[in-house]
Chain A
Amino acid sequence: MSRTLRRISREVWLFFWRDLLIARTYRTAFLLESVEALFGAAMLYYVAKFVDSPLLERTLPQAGGYFAFSLVGFIFLDYLNVSLDSFDRSLQEARDSGTLEHLLVTQTSLPVLVAGSAIYPFAITTVRIAIYIVWGVLLFHFPLHSANWLGVFAMLAATLLAFCGLGILSASYLLLFKRGNPAKWFLLGISSVTGGMLFPVSILPDWLQFVARLNPVSYALDGMRTALLAGTGFSALLDPLAALLGFAVVLLPCSVFIFAWALRRTKMNGTLTHS
């Protein structure tokens, strides 16, 4: 078992190394992304200056005002995006570049290939989020002094697990149908309304609040804001953590099962490497 795990870790690392080498050939990308993060943080800061009021302050569930609330929401949209995008994008890119066929005849399985290809996008998104927060702290008074870092990392891990299931489902769809994934756009659309990114879920009508409770994004955002901004202990995070792990327990096995079925189907139909 541990030998298999070591092998899988080594293979996953190889994909990370590949993507890192490719990223290094785009020398200015990191600089441009840092500047983009600065503009993003500045935009939210000035929107917050415009809309902040004592009434709004009372409506928000955590301290820090609207800037901190919206910045956490905005940067977490990135995580949802990358989790829905990276699995099927890695598959699509491998198919388009002609590398998929050659990857599939190596001793590395397709699930490891897809998961390995998603590691770099997740890592770089984490770095991008950190840059947003650094800009926020350095220039716009983002209140990081009360952050519960253990809680932040626990929330991050639970969020990744829950979102990975969605990403693998998305990749399964792409395997079968070879084209843009409407489920992804639907989920992103639903999340933009019920995820609580730019406004608290509590202002939504009851039926939309019910929809929000079925969406892992709302738990991820709630937990991350609590961990970063509320200055509370770990116990305040137990509910969102349990909800996210619940989503992961259901979504991960289902998505892996559906992915395996879709893979077999495409190998039967001869469309595995078709664009």
Chain B
Amino acid sequence: MPETPTSSVSPISPIRIDQVQKFFPPARSGWRAYLQPFERATSLALAGISLEVRSGEAVALLGTNGAGKSTLLKILATLLLPTAGHARVAGHDTVQDSRAVRRHLGYHAGTDHGFYPRLTGRQNLLFFGRLNHLSRAAATQRIVLLAQQFHFEDALDRQVRTLSTGAVQRLSLARALLHQPSVLLLDEPTRSLDAIAAAEFRRFLKNEILRRGDTSLLFASHTLSEVELLADRVAVIEKGRLLAFDTPAALKHYTSSDTMEDVFLRITGRPSPDAAPGDFVIHPESAPT
């Protein structure tokens, strides 16, 4: 059972999100698409979310597709600007001081891998590592180390276009870890991995990254076993709203559930064998923290 770390709370939170709202303009097609950049943002994606990730802590974002998990991660990764509210990474505002934020960040988007297909795995990693201001020697050393840990040594000297989806996924995860960031944002990190690779990755995250206590992790996942294994706390998001934020044990206790699946179903008010819809919605202000 994961426990919320208490001993290593730093005065500056690795991640602090205060009342972040995000609205997007409505999607347009045809000639109206030319007006889209100037339209008012009216589609709700995030409705004033606040949460904090402590030093060395792993927090999972749990929610259905379109709940706002990726939007929140992209705001933290400085890829999106919030409509209102503030997000801070290692004490730096994601809007005002985005370069300083990126110094502390490792980001992995599960939906695409974003490599140059005609370059080898090593050349790709070296390029991204050096853009993160690693020296050539340091980047080369880290690449070899991560390749050993993630078992993709074979992929290092092959063009990325010849690699399997799983191998590219490992490269992508290695890229996020290359410059040893203090904050890791992972969006569905094991999405394209086979069961063994996914288990290895989780073990690596747990044993090599999180156990050291100097890296904080915020990740979105649909794999409940992964959430339970890695997360110290879980934030349940639905339609842009934070419904609950606590340790898996506390959430289970609060919803009288045995599994995270039941926790999720009950908190989001979905049909469950044991509960009526809406019976267990926990609003963050009333939820135990």
Contacts and interface: CB of A to CB of B under 8 A. Distances in A.
Contacts of A99: 114-116
B114 A97 contact: yes
Interface of A: 7, 10-11, 14, 17-18, 21-22, 25, 97-109, 176-179, 262, 264-273
Interface in B164-209: 175
25 contacts: A10-B130, A11-B131, A14-B131, A18-B119, A21-B119, A25-B119, A98-B112, A98-B114, A99-B114, A100-B114, A101-B107, A101-B109, A102-B128, A104-B78, A104-B79, A105-B79, A105-B107, A106-B102, A108-B131, A176-B37, A177-B34, A265-B37, A270-B24, A272-B80, A273-B79
B211 interface: no
Interface string B111-153: 0111111110001000110111100000000000000000000
A213 to B, nearest CB: 31
B117 to A, nearest CB: 7
B78 A105 contact: yes
A109 B159 contact: no
B103 interface: yes
Interface of B: 22, 24-25, 33-34, 36-37, 41, 45, 71, 74, 77-81, 83, 99, 102-103, 105, 107, 109, 112-119, 123, 127-128, 130-133, 159, 175
Contacts of A177: 33-34, 37
A102 B114 contact: yes
B117 A97 contact: yes
Contacts of A266: 37
Contact of A107 (B103, B115, B119): B103
B114 A18 contact: no
Nearest to A23: B118
B287 to A, nearest CB: 29
Contacts of A106: 102, 128, 131-132
B212 to A, nearest CB: 22
A106 B22 CA distance: 23
Contact of A102 (B99, B117, B130, B175): B175
Contacts of B45: 270
A106 B77 CA distance: 10
Given A18-B119, A102-B175, 7 more contacts: A14-B131, A97-B114, A97-B116, A101-B107, A106-B128, A267-B79, A269-B36
A103 B32 CA distance: 30
A101 B116 contact: no
From B71, B99, B115, B130, residue with most partner A Cβ within 10 Å: B130
B116 A18 contact: yes
Given A102-B175, A107-B132, A21 B123 contact: yes
Contacts of A102: 107, 109, 114, 128, 175
B15 to A, nearest CB: 15
A30 to B, nearest CB: 16
6 smallest CB-CB distances across A and B, nearest first, come from A98-B112, A98-B114, A106-B131, A102-B114, A99-B114, A105-B107
B51 to A, nearest CB: 21
Contacts of A103: 128, 131
A7 B78 CA distance: 21
Nearest to B76: A105
A143 B117 CA distance: 44
Contact of B102 (A107, A176, A179, A264): A107
A267 B112 contact: no
Given A14-B127, A18-B127, A101 B37 contact: no
Nearest to A25: B118
Given A14-B130, A102-B128, A177-B33, A107 B41 contact: no
B41 A268 contact: yes
Nearest to A100: B114
A10 B130 CA distance: 9
Contact of B81 (A22, A25, A178, A267): A267
Contacts of A22: 116, 118-119
A173 to B, nearest CB: 11
Contacts of B113: 98
Contacts of B71: 270
A107 B34 contact: no
A268 B80 CA distance: 6
A83 to B, nearest CB: 23
A271 B37 contact: yes
Given A22-B116, A102-B114, A268 B105 contact: no
A21 B123 CA distance: 9
Contacts of B81: 264, 267-268
A120 to B, nearest CB: 13
Nearest to B113: A98
